[in-house]
Amino acid sequence: MMNVVLMIGTTELILIAAVVLLLFGGKKLPELMRGLGQGIQSFKKGMKEPVAEEKEETSEDKKE
């Protein structure tokens, strides 16, 4: 799956950006990107939380 993402060239990215711009318009685009950024940030935070919880559980187990 990762190979497919790497095969996207400049032309395809420009075409995708043009379609998004046509669909949503210039005024909605910053709002869309802000929402996308917050979603990615939330996802990254969620991926780190289980690791922190795991560390707490193992340290509690060692104390007993």
Q: pLDDT digit string (tens) for 54-63?
A: 666 665 555 5
| pLDDT 10s digits, 7-44 | 778 898 889 888 988 888 888 888 888 998 999 999 98
Instruction: Give the distance, in angstroms, between the CA of residue 30 and the centroid of all CA atoms in the same chain.
Output: 16
- Quote helix, strand, coil % in the chain, to nearest 5: 90, 0, 10
pTM of the model: 0.48
Q: What is the DSSP letter of 8?
A: -
Separation CA 54–CA 50 (nearest Å): 6
